[in-house]
Amino acid sequence: MKIAFLGTGIMGGHMAGHLLAAGHELTVFNRTRSKAEALISRGARWAESPRLAAEGQDVLISIVGMPDDVQEVYMGEQGVFGASDPPEVVIDMTTSTPTLARTLAEAATARGIASIDAPVSGGPVGAESASLSIMVGGDTDAVARVWSLFESMGKTVIHQGGPGYGQHTKMVNQILLAGSMIGLAESMAYAEAAGLDPAKVISSIRDGAAGSRALTDFGPKILKGDFTPGFYAKHYLKDLGIALDEAARMDLKLPMLALVQGFYDRICRQGLNQCGTHVLSAVMAADQGSEQASRALSGLKSAGQ
């Protein structure tokens, strides 16, 4: 297929690379061209705007930062929907709002285009290894036409329902992650306060009932003081806000989620928005009086992370 790919950052660069490897003809756009150079060197064509990237393509895929970015990419002055010869199918893989996914689907339908929302989980490691979980919302026929593209980028691909259902499923994922992150942070704080060796503790519990991806992936990084992002704290704060807004629309109260959002709001206001989500552990440890965690946070702030 002829595919336009918008957003070639920490996730999109790997995902687009898998499509190139599968033999598709790729046109790319990113706000910072340097992040697309690796794909261009492999044969991808560069476009100067989302609209120009969309021209004459079979499919367009986007994975950008925030819902406002999604809206600009599709409906802005140089957006995809301004193309004179638009793609037959557009797929937004950004974690965005179910409401915006439905709005995009309506706008696309009015232009004779099929729109799919397909957010992902698995982080940069999953993107690089093509083992992402892809949560798909959209028209059944349109989804079937691009299914092979999803299989090139992910391992678990499930069609959840109509427009917006992929985004709703991603919110379920982010709510579960919130519980994992605060549980990890509190458990590590307890281990330190009790005088345990945290590395031994992780080895003891990771394969038991309390084991989780958060513990396996982030536990060793926390012990090393490595808070480089696989997923930015600022993006997770965005997701928590989306989940709480959608819950409010359904008259659903999620007290744990609201608590975790408060922590990430503080993390971002303290200038740690560029850190990985697991920086929550250091923040909670510092709150408990850990000098080591306090020094680590001071260093992160000084470095502008």
Task: Kindly report the pTM of this predicted structure.
Answer: 0.91
Per-residue pLDDT averaged across 137-157, rounded?
Answer: 98
Comparing CA positions, the residue from 184, 270, 263, 273 lying closest to residue 235 is 273
DSSP assigned state of 25: E
Phi-psi region of 164 (alpha: psi -120 to 50; beta: other; left: phi over 0): left
Task: Report the DSSP beta bridge partners of residue 156.
Answer: 133
CATH class of 168-302: mainly alpha
Q: pLDDT > 90: what percent of the chain?
A: 82
pLDDT value at residue 178 = 95
Please state, in angstroms and as integers, the Cα–Cα distance from residue 36 to each residue in 11, 26, 70, 71, 298, following that order.
12, 11, 18, 21, 33
Q: pLDDT > 70: what percent of the chain?
A: 99
Residue 305 has pLDDT above 70, yes or no: no
Please state, in angstroms and as integers, the Cα–Cα distance from residue 107 to each residue in 111, 113, 126, 185, 244, following that order.
7, 8, 31, 42, 25
CATH topology of domain 2-162: Rossmann fold (3.40.50)
Per-residue pLDDT averaged across 108-137, rounded?
Answer: 96
Phi-psi region of 142 (alpha: psi -120 to 50; beta: other; left: phi over 0): alpha
Q: Would you state the structure tokens that stand for residue 245, as one six-digit string?
A: 């807004």
- Binned at pLDDT 50, 70 and 90, residue 303 comes out as low
pLDDT value at residue 302 = 59
Residue 32 has pLDDT above 90, yes or no: yes
Q: Which residues contact 34 (CB under 8 A, 6 or more apart)?
A: none
pLDDT value at residue 138 = 98
pLDDT value at residue 286 = 87
Per-residue pLDDT averaged across 225-235, rounded?
Answer: 89
Does the fold of domain 168-302 match that of domain 2-162? no
pLDDT value at residue 287 = 85
Task: Report the DSSP beta bridge partners of residue 154.
Answer: 132
**Which position has the token pair 């629309």?**
249
- Binned at pLDDT 50, 70 and 90, residue 304 comes out as low
| Per-residue pLDDT reduced to its tens digit, 172-228 | 999 999 999 999 999 998 998 899 999 999 999 999 999 988 899 899 999 888 998
Contact of 116 with 89, CB cutoff 8 Å: yes
Active-site residue set: 170
Comparing CA positions, the residue from 118, 50, 112 lying closest to residue 80 is 50
Contact of 26 with 3, CB cutoff 8 Å: yes
Per-residue pLDDT averaged across 104-117, rounded?
Answer: 97
- Binned at pLDDT 50, 70 and 90, residue 299 comes out as confident
pLDDT value at residue 230 = 81
Cα atoms found within 13 Å of the Cα of residue 37, Cβ hemisphere only: 4
**Which position has the token pair 């691909």?**
157
* CA–centroid distance for 61 within its chain: 14
The residue extents of the domains of the chain are 2-162, 168-302
pLDDT, mean over the chain: 94
H or E stretch at 273 = none
More confident: 15 or 274: 15
| Calculated CA dihedral for residues 24, 44, 113, 48, nearest 10 degrees | 180
| Calculated CA dihedral for residues 213, 217, 221, 222, nearest 10 degrees | 0
pLDDT-wise least confident of 13-27, 123-137, 235-249, 280-294:
280-294
Comparing CA positions, the residue from 135, 169, 138, 137 lying closest to residue 153 is 135
pLDDT-wise least confident of 111-120, 132-141, 278-287:
278-287
Residue 62 has pLDDT above 90, yes or no: yes
